[in-house]
């Protein structure tokens, strides 16, 4: 067996093991490093061990190492400087870069095919290669442009936009792109239609993501991630590269599975996510009516006393916790309460934050024990015996309208049933609706008290109050 084949086999095994380890926060970091090491071996093996049919090495080392050095520096700097609140848009951007790479591979191979045609070589039997090129280009381009729009939406530079009949326009554009692709395959790659397909796929990616509401971004990111994986797998087919094929299939399968799980967590079909615009401007305009009442505030000292003398406290983290970078202060509050004999656990909603697993990563960064993190179903059982629930910046995932208001866009979505607890304390900066633009009736319930302020500052003051009590 060739040494390069062994390198690829080893890398494929590390991908599988790494993905398995990523399923648990305690082993996720090691899994990531293991998969990265496998990828490094695969890259090094390709550079130094690859030989073509004539026995010639890869060549173009100055371009290869130049790209590796520049990309490595940029990736390292960006990864070290990114804040936890910006992690979702960074993931979206990096995912888009993967789609762009897959699309560029298709364009390069298409140009190579054109040179073969110009040289008079036979193109019979090449339909399979052309099909892979076309599919890789379409999927990779959609993933790239769609991810860039998702990145802009997540950081607030791009707003939701839609127009009457946009779904029909999108369907027509997609069908036209696929029909052009089929024609290129039938013609065995002759002509320059692939560049038209490239432009059409980029446009479709923009049109595809633009109308989707902010609250659906976790699902969209997962879906686009699966697109990138599939596009990379097509690159593996083109180059007969087993490690590209394995990695692409794993990413595509994992992204698809995660998309399905996200939809299940929101009790929505993928079709509804893609055309429903949940969390967009229309949702904000249509759901502020009908929620009326007055809210009551609680002072820091009273909140500290209530939690300090409780038997069980449940903490519900949300995007407000990430914005304030208050995960360490939250863990400090937990430790102070535990020292006073209070049982403390965390309730994690599957779509809390801006991407799947956002809250888990946030709390893991602060070394919160994994066993204290409860999934939604388990947390809902615990709320019934909980004295105090402390909500930190979460909004839509605790909104009772999902259970009580059939007219609400989130009706039917499973939520954290915090109202089952004896007392609910909500920390927010203001009464402004959450990311989905939907007013929350929980804030006006008799057992709910509002604790306004920056999450980090509030938590630090709560710690001081409890310690001095």
Beta strands at 373-375 and 448-452: parallel, antiparallel or unpaired: unpaired
Total domains, the chain? 2
Where residue 422 falls among pLDDT bands split at 50, 70, 90?
Answer: very high
264 and 365 share one domain: no
Average pLDDT, the chain: 85
437 and 323 share one domain: yes
- Of residues 99 and 187, the one with the higher pLDDT is 99
Distance, in Å, from the CA atom of 380 to the CA atom of 127, rounded to the nearest integer, reads 55
Q: Is 304 within a domain? A: yes
- Choose the weakest-confidence range: 94-98, 158-162, 460-464: 158-162
* pLDDT reading at 347 higher than 70: yes
Q: Is 266 within a domain? A: yes
241 and 346 share one domain: no
pLDDT of 280 reads 47
For the stretch 179-199, pLDDT in tens is 999 998 888 777 788 899 999
The set of residues, in sequence order, having a beta carbon less than 8 Å from that of 381 and lying 6+ positions away, is none
* pLDDT reading at 45 higher than 80: yes
- Of residues 177 and 27, the one with the higher pLDDT is 177
Q: Which two tokens stand for residue 255?
A: 């992204």
Chosen domain end from 278, 309, 324 = 278
244 and 379 share one domain: no
pLDDT of 283 reads 45
Query: Would you give the DSSP letter of residue 118?
Result: H
* pLDDT reading at 35 higher than 90: yes
Where residue 394 falls among pLDDT bands split at 50, 70, 90?
Answer: confident
332 and 232 share one domain: no
pLDDT of 155 reads 78
269 and 330 share one domain: no
* pLDDT reading at 284 higher than 50: no
Q: Is 226 within a domain? A: yes
Q: Is 64 within a domain? A: no
Where residue 436 falls among pLDDT bands split at 50, 70, 90?
Answer: low
270 and 377 share one domain: no
Q: Is 225 within a domain? A: yes
413 and 265 share one domain: no
Distance, in Å, from the CA atom of 123 to the CA atom of 405, rounded to the nearest integer, reads 61
Q: What is the arithmetic mean of pLDDT over 47-65?
A: 85
Question: Residue for token digits 């089952």?
Answer: 420
The set of residues, in sequence order, having a beta carbon less than 8 Å from that of 453 and lying 6+ positions away, is 427, 429
Phi, psi of 268 (to 5 degrees): -135, 150
Q: What is the arithmetic mean of pLDDT over 131-159?
A: 90
- Of residues 281 and 448, the one with the higher pLDDT is 448
pLDDT of 129 reads 85
338 and 417 share one domain: yes
181 and 146 share one domain: yes
Q: Is 131 within a domain? A: yes
Q: What is the arithmetic mean of pLDDT over 419-424?
A: 93
Q: What is the pTM of this model?
A: 0.79
Chosen domain end from 219, 245, 278 = 278
Work out the angle at residue 217's Cα, subtended by the Cα atoms of residues 211 and 223, and round it to the nearest 5 degrees.
95
Distance, in Å, from the CA atom of 250 to the CA atom of 462, rounded to the nearest integer, reads 45
Could you tell me which of 392, 395, 397 has the C-alpha nearest to residue 459? Answer: 392
Distance, CA of 9 to chain centre: 29
235 and 141 share one domain: yes
pLDDT of 360 reads 82
For the stretch 292-311, pLDDT in tens is 568 889 999 999 999 999 99
Q: Is 165 within a domain? A: yes
Could you tell me which of 139, 376, 332 has the C-alpha nearest to residue 235? Answer: 139
Range of the domain at 306: 300-468
Is 396 an active-site residue?
yes
CATH number for the domain including 344?
3.40.50.1220
Chosen domain end from 243, 278, 313 = 278
Q: Is 45 within a domain? A: no
442 and 308 share one domain: yes
Q: Which of 216, 396, 405, 454 is catalytic?
A: 396
Q: What is the arithmetic mean of pLDDT over 460-465?
A: 93
pLDDT of 263 reads 80
């Amino acid at each position: 067996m060739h040494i390069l084949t062994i390198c690829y086999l080893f890398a494929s095994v590390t991908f599988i093991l790494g993905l398995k380890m990523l399923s648990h926060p305690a082993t996720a970091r090691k899994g990531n490093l293991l998969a990265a090491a496998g990828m490094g071996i695969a890259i090094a093996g390709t550079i130094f061990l690859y030989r073509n049919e004539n026995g010639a090495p890869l060549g173009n080392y100055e371009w290869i190492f130049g790209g590796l050095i520049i990309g490595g520096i940029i990736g390292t700097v960006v990864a070290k400087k990114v804040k936890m609140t910006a992690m979702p848009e960074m993931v979206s951007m990096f995912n888009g870069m993967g789609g762009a790479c897959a699309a560029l591979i298709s364009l390069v191979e298409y140009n190579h095919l054109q040179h073969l045609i110009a040289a008079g070589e036979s193109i019979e039997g090449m339909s399979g290669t052309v099909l892979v090129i076309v599919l890789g280009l379409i999927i990779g381009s959609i993933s790239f442009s769609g991810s860039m729009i998702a990145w802009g939406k997540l950081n607030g530079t791009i707003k939701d936009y839609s127009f009457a009949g946009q779904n029909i326009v999108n369907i027509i554009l997609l069908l036209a792109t696929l029909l052009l692709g089929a024609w290129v395959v039938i013609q065995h790659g002759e002509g320059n239609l692939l560049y038209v397909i490239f432009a059409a796929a980029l446009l479709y990616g923009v049109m595809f993501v633009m109308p989707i509401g902010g609250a659906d971004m976790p699902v969209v990111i997962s879906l686009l991630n699966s697109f990138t994986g599939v596009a990379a797998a097509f690159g593996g087919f083109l180059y007969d590269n087993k490690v590209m094929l394995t990695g692409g299939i794993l990413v595509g399968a994992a992204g698809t599975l995660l998309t399905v799980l996200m939809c299940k967590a929101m009790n929505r079909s993928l079709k509804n996510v893609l055309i429903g615009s949940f969390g967009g401007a229309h949702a904000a305009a249509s759901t502020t009516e009908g929620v009326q009442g007055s809210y009551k505030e609680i002072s820091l000292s009273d909140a500290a006393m209530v939690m300090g003398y409780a038997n069980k406290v449940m903490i519900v983290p949300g995007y407000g916790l990430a914005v304030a970078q208050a995960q360490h202060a939250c863990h400090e509050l937990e430790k102070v309460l535990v020292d006073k004999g209070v049982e403390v656990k965390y309730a994690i909603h599957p779509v809390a934050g801006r991407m799947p697993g956002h809250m888990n990563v946030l709390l893991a960064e602060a070394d919160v024990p994994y066993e204290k993190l409860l999934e939604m179903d388990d947390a809902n059982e615990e709320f019934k015996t909980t004295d105090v629930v402390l909500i930190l910046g979460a909004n839509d995932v605790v909104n009772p309208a999902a259970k009580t208001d059939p007219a609400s866009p989130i009706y039917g979505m499973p939520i954290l049933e915090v109202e089952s607890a004896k007392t609910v304390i909500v920390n927010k900066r203001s009464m402004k609706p959450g990311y989905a633009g939907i007013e929350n009736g929980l804030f006006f319930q008799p057992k709910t008290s509002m604790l306004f302020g920056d999450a980090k500052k509030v938590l630090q003051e709560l710690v001081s109050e409890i310690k001095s009590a």
